[in-house]
Copies of this chain bind each other. A is one copy, B any other.
Amino acid sequence: MGERVLPRAERRRRTEEKILDAARSLFGELGYERATIRGVARRAEVDPALVMQYFGSKQELFQRSVRMAPAPDGELGPDEVVEHVLGSLGMKLELPEGSLAMLRSMLTHPEAAESARQMLGGQIGRLAEALPGEDARLRATLMTLTLLGITVGHQLLEMEELRGVRQEELARLLRPSLRALTGQDVP
């Protein structure tokens, strides 16, 4: 029947990706502690020992599941940066599964917390460059954490108040609020 025979290299690649997909989704649903190697293996339709053989340890599997390409950055003005941030961190429904796994675990798994700090720090740094004023970095932090809070409430806590709310609606309500954090006062 439909079972094709694959060369070894290709077969290995597919199995590894199948495990990584299962790991990303399970870590994203349950967090680092509750997600088990056995559970990942079951979801990937594979033996638990194979997961160990491929990734060495649960810790390394998690790291591989979470690693992502860093966002490309370009020079922006203080106004464009608001639009950029509105379209970037989390608001979009297409938040990659790897990020979800990292966010889910960041409060209870020290290594995930470090990854989160790095990712947020990157975002903050890029934002701060585009903002004027003395406390640009502090304001960039507050903007980033604002988006983090909404992402947490929406994607992880699944608050009913945000269920089915369109992205543009959120952007419309949030835009004045974020502009107020840019520091280019118009009082």
Contacts and interface: CB of A to CB of B under 8 A. Distances in A.
B157 A153 contact: no
Contact of A178 (B105, B141, B161, B177): B177
A59 interface: no
A174 B38 CA distance: 45
Contacts of A50: none
Contact of A156 (B107, B135, B173): B107
A109 to B, nearest CB: 8
Count this chain's copies in the assembly.
2
Most buried by B among A103, A141, A181: A141
Nearest to A128: B161
> What range describes how many residues of A lie at the interface?
35 or more
A142 B174 contact: yes
A7 B107 CA distance: 41
Given A120-B159, A152-B152, A153-B120, A142 B107 contact: no
Contacts of A150: 142, 145-146, 149
A181 B150 CA distance: 14
A107 B158 CA distance: 10
B180 A161 contact: no
10 contacts: A33-B34, A107-B156, A117-B157, A120-B159, A137-B161, A138-B169, A138-B173, A141-B153, A141-B161, A145-B152
Given A33-B33, A107-B157, A135-B173, 18 more contacts: A31-B108, A103-B107, A104-B108, A105-B108, A120-B157, A139-B173, A141-B153, A141-B159, A141-B162, A142-B150, A142-B174, A145-B149, A145-B153, A148-B152, A176-B180, A176-B181, A177-B177, A177-B180
